[in-house]
Amino acid sequence: MSRAVSRHCVWMLADAYRSQTGFAEAARPHLRALRDETKETVHLFAYERGEFYYLDKLESPYQVRMHSRIGAKASLFRLSAGKALLAKLTTAELKELPEHVPEDVAAEFSEILSKGFAVDNEQNERGLRCVGAAVFDKSGRALGAVSVSAPAYRFPLEMLDAYGLLVRRTAEAISESAEIQFPRAAGSEVPRQERAGKVKERISSGGAPDER
């Protein structure tokens, strides 16, 4: 590897780190408010070029809670946060994924877009329920997602909509306060109006990624 290439790689890593740190700092007050209201574990996820991972976490005060590790990769297909983000990605962004979106996950897109949040009803881990919502910057760029996770006995099905609304509002608040931009190729930003048009197309076509 040449020195020029090496310096470029270091610069890209440093720039990405600064962006992610800024994202986490902007989100922290909103994550804390969500954790304090629900008394359950709250996660912030980062997304970039097909990679999805745990960026921040605020623990539940209860002894029984979800175990996860900051920096670890997270599932886009099983976690509520991952599904919430997938439902709002454009066709070009979906092509960045290392794996094709499973049909059963794509089938949830219409409901996710309608409600503004996704549900993990013990799909990722038995006995654990989660609700998650996607976070975007001002240009419509997917930054990541936020979620609330709790043991099923503390998170009955009748609470899904209430917690889902809290998570959606938290994601919206983070999107508003995150005054940072993740690096992206010139001309690749998707205006909100264009993104909204793509979302409507996906709902009318059943939400399957291959049909857009």
44 has pLDDT over 70: yes
**Closest to 98 measured CA to CA, from 50, 43, 164, 34:** 50
Q: Tell me what the mean pLDDT of segment 78-99 comes to.
A: 91
**Backbone dihedral angles phi then psi of residue 56, each to the nearest 5 degrees:** -155, 160
Lowest mean pLDDT of 18-22, 74-78, 107-111, 138-142, name the range: 18-22
Mean pLDDT for the chain?
79
pLDDT band at 1 (very low <50, low <70, confident <90, very high): low
Topology at the third CATH level for domain 7-211: Beta-Lactamase (3.30.450)
- Encoded tokens for 117: 């949040």
Predicted local distance difference test score (pLDDT) of residue 152: 94
What is the SS3 assignment for 66?
A: coil
- Encoded tokens for 189: 């930003």
Where is 75: in which H helix or E strand?
none
Residue type for 52, please? F
CB 131 within 8 A of CB 148: yes
Predicted local distance difference test score (pLDDT) of residue 113: 96
- Tell me the whole-structure pTM to 2 decimals: 0.75
Q: How far is CA 144 from CA 30, 44, 51, 54, 82, in A?
A: 14, 7, 10, 9, 8
Q: How many whole angstroms separate alpha carbon 27 and alpha carbon 73? A: 19
Lowest mean pLDDT of 81-90, 112-121, 200-209, name the range: 200-209
Q: Which has more pLDDT, 112 or 139?
A: 112
Q: Tell me what the mean pLDDT of segment 120-133 comes to.
A: 93
Predicted local distance difference test score (pLDDT) of residue 180: 45
Q: Which has more pLDDT, 36 or 12?
A: 36
Long-range contacts of 6-11, Cβ-Cβ distance < 8 Å, separation of 24 or more: none
Q: What percent of the chain has pLDDT over 70?
A: 72
Q: Tell me what the mean pLDDT of segment 119-142 comes to.
A: 91
**Backbone dihedral angles phi then psi of residue 43, each to the nearest 5 degrees:** -120, 145
Q: Tell me what the mean pLDDT of segment 40-47 comes to.
A: 95
Q: Which has more pLDDT, 98 or 33?
A: 33
Domain ranges of the chain: 7-211
